[in-house]
Structure 1
Amino acid sequence: MGTTGIAAINPKFLESMAGKTPFLKRMFTVFISQEPKRLEAIRDALETRDVEKLRHLAHALKGGAATMGVERVRDCCLLLENASKASDMDAARTHLRDLETEMRRAYAFMFNYLAEH
């Protein structure tokens, strides 16, 4: 599934945040500062085949991404969570690669937003 043309952040979410720029900037700043650590923990859990930890971390990131309107990240987390429930490490590896790509897109969007506001 290609992501060309699909927004890193849901435009409806951004619309709902109109007039709340300071709050949105704080949310983006926290996401940028916290989530790379969680992504690293997800990589480690996959490497050590700790399916329970992997499921828990993917679930937690899914919730954070959903709150932020980062829907492609949320979708990747759901797939990763399901793969970990099924103990399908090959699928989990594929979903992690997709998740890393979507996280980079989300970070880029957030950094640009912070630079412009």
Structure 2
Amino acid sequence: MTEQIISPGFLKSMSGKTAFLKRMFTVFIAQEPKRVAEIRNALESSDVERLRHLAHALKGGAATMGVERVRDCCLMLEKASKAEDMISAKAHLDELEKEMRNAYAFMFNFLAER
């Protein structure tokens, strides 16, 4: 089963803008692992307000990049933090980390091919 890592609509909108897309992917790869680590730290310290803030920020970045499954994980993580449901937040973080690895792999491959 092949699932889209990056929204086909986003990729289509970037058609002919390879240099710009490469810069976007490079920035995402450089910045977001730190944010995911901060999300994990906020969860582990039960800092629900920081967790909500970080998940919200990553959600916006993921939406801009067309990484819809990451965006969806962030939305669920944000909702869990608002409800102070750390058990659900942990499950959503695990899924987020998996989806981020998929996104990084897609972006690295895109950068290597062009």
Displacement after TM superposition at 1:71 (Å):
0.1
Percent of counterpart pairs with the same letter?
Answer: 73
2:90 to 74, 82, 93: 93
Separation of aligned partners in 1, 2:75 and 2:7: 17
User: Where does residue 32 of structure 1 map in the other structure?
Assistant: 29
Of 64, 67, 76, which residue of structure 1 is paired with 2:61? Answer: 64
Aligned length: 114
2:19 matches 1:11: no
> What is the CA distance between 1:84 and its match in structure 2?
0.1
Structural RMSD (CA):
0.6
List 4+ stretches of structure 1 deviating above 3 A: none
**Deviation at 1:5?**
2.3
The aligned runs of 1:72-91 (5 Å cut-off) are 72-91=69-88
The amino acid across from 1:10 in the alignment is S
List gaps (5 residues or longer) in structure 2: none
Correspondent of 2:47 among 29, 50, 62:
50
Q: When the two structures are superposed, what TM-score results if normalisation uses the length of structure 2?
A: 0.99
